[in-house]
Structures are given as structure tokens and as C-alpha cells.
Amino acid sequence: MIQKVNNHIKSASDATLGWFIFGLALVLRAAYAIFAYSQNVMANFADDNLYFEIGKKVAGQGQIFYETADWRYDIIGPFLPWVNGLTIGVFGDSWLPVFLVTAVVSAAISLLIYRTTLFIAGRKPALLAGLWSVFYVFYLRYVPTAGKDLWMAFLLLIIVYYLIKTYNERLGKMRKTIFMTIVFAASMHLDERFIVFGPLILFYLIYMEIISHKTKRWRIPGTFVLLSILLLIPWNLRNYKKFEKPVILTTRTERITDKILGIEHKKRPFEWLYDSANIYQIKPDHYDSIVSGLKTHTDGGYRISPKQRKAMAKGHLPEQMSTLESVWMRLKILLRPFQWGGEYQKKGFFYVEYSSRHNWASFLFYGLMLFASFPGFWWLFRKKREAFYLLAGVIGVYVLAHALAVPWTTERYRLPIAAFFIIAGGIGMGWLLEQIKWRISKN
């Protein structure tokens, strides 16, 4: 039986195997989306309700430069409202079509993981990485949502895939660069944090075009810069007309641009997110009343969970974190394979404790690939230096940006970089299996 499967794999084309991986992933994700919808998973939504709400508004307005009378709509980049608005406009006011569109996006991530690994390391590592991603539990977990987590992972992976594809195929370099730049612009309209990848992409293009090939070809890097700027102009011009000042993509960037431009900054309602210490902060003289259950909310209005109350009863008390401690905590959140006990996050007052089931799932699906990625990155460094720089650079930029500047970082923010650990992990597993096979045959 195993031999027959091996023969089928060997005889199948690379494209056929890729589409098999996509089809298998899509069936699993669509089935889960339908099941979650039947279980009314929407009753537990928080942020997703806002994404769905604005999607309905966009569908009703039927215009690209939609009106945002509600301040909450201005903190969201326009890409996902456009997608959800189009989905609702075509299929009606229902959550299920939104879930199914996300299922397609999640399945496409598996296809891109397979194809990216195929370009870098060949068929066997590509199959390992692609099939692993099909069953990657967190790519399934976030299918029945209306949020942007899987879209962020999808767009970032397309950018990396086309950067690698451009320099693994001789023809169509400019065409691929233009498409990649359009996707990069779309990613910034999805989430303004994607701006941080601009310098990395530019440096990679300069390295591949000029430093690595010892030529003076500025056409590709120049096209990337110029087209990125041009594609940012329409929405930012719309913002300038509305706010009568420069607002880059969303109002979440105002704190930075106002300071740079010397404009008096007026606080927006959403900026309580940046003041997480005051929202979740608990004063020492309130500890006893919280443990006893008399005080159920912080002074900032946040409900204190039973898990936190139990932890405090055991002497695990909240404490203000220093800047360095906060950065270290965010690094752990984004990279570790499991959580060892409960902990305080977000400046030291927001308590998080995952179940053993969650920790096992994180270790088995993410952790194993994380460990396998170490030999994978070593192989990349020795054999495919450019790919190593690109994948490690994307992970490094993303993690550092969140550790230094995103106080509300949570575990689900790892989704956009999980693919690159799976790719490197697939390469590492493939290399280790080859080494084991070679040693067995030698003996």
C-alpha cells in the first residue's frame, strides 16, 4: 500500500501535488466553517462583529471610498471591508459566505507553503511542509471568523513566494515584481503594520539585482518603490480630505505622524488600547476584595476572570512590567511553542492561562516545526543563502516590530510567520530524514 502511494507521488507532477494539497485543505476548512456556523460560533465574537458590521456598510454604500461616520471604522484598513463588503453584496447578509471565503484563503496558504518550499528545496520537503500546513490546527481555528489574521498570513506569504519565484525563473521578472508590489500595497491597506516590510523587500531586491549580481540594475527596486507610493496615494488622499491632515492608512498611525509633523495630537476613543496598564491595573489594596469575589472589575472597567482570581488567591499577583520586561513577554508570546503556567501580559496586569489541550496543540503543530526549523535554517544558510536571508528577515522584522511597538500582542498574531517556520521545518525534517536514510544504508 505504501509503495503504491509512493509510486503515485513520484508519477504525479509538482502542480498536481500542489492542487491536491489545496483541495484537501479546502475540504477540511470548508467542513469546519460549516460546522462552526451551525454551532453559532458567531455568538462569541468580539472584534469580528465590527469587521462584519463595516462589511455590511460597505456593501450597502457600494463604493470604494466608503463613508466612515463611526470612528471605529477609521481604525481599520480598507482592504478587509472591501472583501467582506463584496462577499456580503454577492451572497447576502450571512456569516457563512464570509467563513467560506476565509476557508479558500486558508487553503491557499497551504498551496503557497508547498510551492515556496518546492522552489527552495525540492519536492520531498515541499510535501512535508504542505501536508503539515493542511492539518495545522491554527489555520483551521481562524477560518470561521470575519477578521484579518489569515488574510495577513496569506498576503505576506504571497509577497515572499513571488520574491523567491522572481529569482528562480528567468522570464517575467518585471511582471512578477509588479504583481508582488500590488500585493504589498494591498497588505498595507489590510493592516498598516505591513509598512515595516517595505525596507526589507527593497533591500532584498537591491541585493538580488545589484549586490549579488554585481550589476547596476535599479529598474526592479525603483519600480517597487514608485508603484508602492502610487498605490498608497488614493486612500491617503481620501484620509487627507476627511481629516484635513496627513493620516497614513488608518487613524492608528496618527500618534506617529502628528508627532513627526508637529501637529497637536487629539486623542481618539480607541487609544485606550495603548494604555493597557490603566485598563487592567489592580491596586494592592483591592487584592483581598478581588480574591473574595466582592470586586469583579478593575477600576478601568475590565472584568477580572475566575482564572486570574484563582491565581491571585495562590499569591500570583499582578505587577507593573518595565519596558524591557514587556518586550521580552511579547517575544515569548510570538515564538514559544507552549505556555508554562499562567502569566500576566500587557504591561503586567492582563492574566492569560491556556488549557493543557491548547498547549498540546500548540506544541504538536507549531512547536515540532519550530524545532525542525533549526536544521532547516542551517540548511538554507549553507545551500540557499538568499532564501535564508529573506525568511529569517521576515520573521525578525515582524517579531521585533510587535515586541517593540504592539502592546496588545497575543498568540494569534503568530499566524503570519507560522508559514515560514513550517517551510523551514519541512526542509529541516526532509534533511534529517535523508541523513537517517543515508546512515542506515551505509551500515
Tens-digit pLDDT profile for residues 149-182: 999 999 999 999 999 999 888 788 999 999 999 9
Q: Is residue 443 part of a domain?
A: yes
CA distances from 307 to 205, 233, 293, 304, 409 (A): 49, 47, 12, 8, 20
Per DSSP, the residues of 307-372 read HHHHHHHTT----PPPHHHHHHHHHHHHH-SS--S-EEEGGGTEEE---HHHHHHIIIIIIHHHHH
Single out the residue in 266, 289, 309 at which a domain terminates.
266
Same domain, yes or no: 326 and 426: yes
Q: Is residue 195 part of a domain?
A: yes
Same domain, yes or no: 223 and 274: no
Same domain, yes or no: 260 and 322: no
Same domain, yes or no: 225 and 348: no
User: Residue 273: what pLDDT?
Assistant: 56
> How far apart are alpha carbons 441 and 234 in whole angstroms?
62
Q: Is residue 299 part of a domain?
A: no
Same domain, yes or no: 221 and 272: no
Same domain, yes or no: 277 and 410: yes
Q: Which domain holds residue 224?
A: 174-266
User: Residue 2: what pLDDT?
Assistant: 47
Same domain, yes or no: 245 and 274: no
CA distances from 357 to 2, 79, 245 (A): 32, 34, 49
Asked if residue 320 has pLDDT above 60, the reply is yes
Same domain, yes or no: 253 and 349: no
Single out the residue in 232, 266, 300 at which a domain terminates.
266
Burial of 297 (0-12, 13-18, 19+ CB in 10 A): exposed
Mean pLDDT for 96-115 is 97
Q: Is residue 20 part of a domain?
A: no
Same domain, yes or no: 355 and 425: yes
User: Residue 289: what pLDDT?
Assistant: 86
Q: Is residue 255 part of a domain?
A: yes
Same domain, yes or no: 272 and 411: yes
> 0.85 exceeded by the pTM?
yes
User: Residue 96: what pLDDT?
Assistant: 96
Number of folded domains that form the chain: 2
Same domain, yes or no: 273 and 223: no
Q: Is residue 385 part of a domain?
A: yes
193 close to 146: Cβ distance less than 8 angstroms:
no
Q: Is residue 30 part of a domain?
A: no
Q: Is residue 18 part of a domain?
A: no
Same domain, yes or no: 249 and 273: no
